[in-house]
Chain A
Amino acid sequence: MANWQESMPSTRAYIMNKVLYELHHKPDDLSAYQKDADAYLARFNMPQDLADCIKNNDVARMYLSGVNPYLLRAHCIGVRIPEDESLAALRSLLTHEEYNNG
């Protein structure tokens, strides 16, 4: 049982953290993302699977990537993913083998 997927962020997690952080803290980033998600995500030169799970609002896969949960939570609210939808996606991982509390 653990509170965190990663005790020290991997570089993959760091990149995703950076995207979610900048998206919700730099003045024009959220509108740029909403206008053209692919173009926005291309700025970060990130692995395609990470870009895909952000673009597709794949909350479960973002969590398993090791992203900081606080940044994930803020992102879910900030891009208006329905509360029950994000909660269900997370709950679906309770018995997932990659979830370190499963």
Chain B
Amino acid sequence: MAEITGIYTASHTPVMLNFPDRIPADLRDEIFGAYRAMGDDFMRGKPDALIVLSNDHLHNFFLDNFPAFCFGCAESYESPIEHWLHAKRRTFAGDQAFGAYLLQSALEADFDPSFSMEMVLDHGSLTPLELAGVDPALPIVPVLFNCVQPPMPTMRRSHALGRFLGDALRAYDGVERVAVLATGGISHDIATPRMGMVNEEFDRTLLDLLEAGEPDAVLNHATDFVHTAGNGCEEIRMWMAAMGIAAGAPFKRTYYKAVNDWYTGIGIGRFEV
């Protein structure tokens, strides 16, 4: 039986690495500090493995075959896949047995994810891991959600997958401690006319509802208003899954700022398991 040491939520954007100077240095330092604080908190739990809930931005998957959910089952994951991303190339260890266990358990629980034994992770996984200072030697299991090309799985289905994952993680006896990082969102637009026009009201309402511990209200807000908060906000499917894994544990935001010049509502938080 594995103990979940922490469930973290954090935004990601390649702009942080490619165009860090588009915002004032003190604000950039404040944001990077918030990621490091998340990493420090993460490290205190001494996890044996990390489940990364993220999304592929049309690098590993294309429209010829695009999964709603994909579980990583590889021994290692190179990153980044983007030739244009300003990031040091690195290889993350993978927990293949853990990934295979989650895949088989998901199928038995009537979910139908695809799986991959060879993925090159993009900025969606790399950015928060790098900024948080997570050791690439810590074995990871990526779980990728389609948030980038309609039609996509619903917010409620993503939450349901999270509920399944929570049960499966706690039942796993291959590790003693496991942490979860759900990364994406909050409000942002990628390559649309609204790019750089963060919907702060959407974000603050989402965070308020998460802190109030009202899953149905969170899901309704996410479902009914995501279209006002940008195509990048579709990535809050991973936050819905994290809420499912948390199974009622209280949520606390640790950082939020609408950063229009990074095009993103930067949100970081954790479920206090």
Contacts and interface: CB of A to CB of B under 8 A. Distances in A.
Interface of A: 1-4, 6-9, 14, 17-18, 21, 24-25, 30, 59, 63, 68-74, 76-78, 83, 86-87, 90-94, 96, 99, 101-102
Instruction: Give the top 6 A-B pairs by smallest Cβ distance, nearest first.
Output: A69-B191, A73-B191, A3-B231, A93-B193, A72-B191, A94-B193
A70 B19 contact: no
Contact of A70 (B22, B148, B193, B228): B148
Contact of A8 (B62, B84, B150, B194): B150
The contact size tier of chain B is: 20 to 34
Interface string B41-68: 0000000000000000111001100000
B149 interface: yes
Interface of B: 14, 18-19, 22, 57-59, 62-63, 81-84, 148-151, 189-196, 226-228, 230-231, 233-234
Contacts of A9: 63, 149
Given A69-B192, A90-B193, A74 B227 contact: no
Contacts of B58: 17, 21, 68, 70-71, 74
Contact of A3 (B62, B63, B227): B227
Contacts, number: 88
Nearest to B56: A70
A59 B194 CA distance: 14
Contact of A21 (B22, B62, B196, B227): B62
Nearest to A79: B84
B149 to A, nearest CB: 6
Interface centre among B14, B151, B190, B191 (most CB of A within 10 A): B191
Nearest to B196: A87
B82 A74 contact: yes
A7 B148 contact: no
B226 A3 contact: yes
A31 B122 CA distance: 22
A96 B63 CA distance: 27
Residue of B19, B22, B58, B194 with most chain A CB atoms under a 10 A cut-off: B58
A25 B62 CA distance: 11
B150 A4 contact: yes
A92 to B, nearest CB: 8
A23 B228 CA distance: 31
A74 B150 contact: no
A68 B192 contact: no
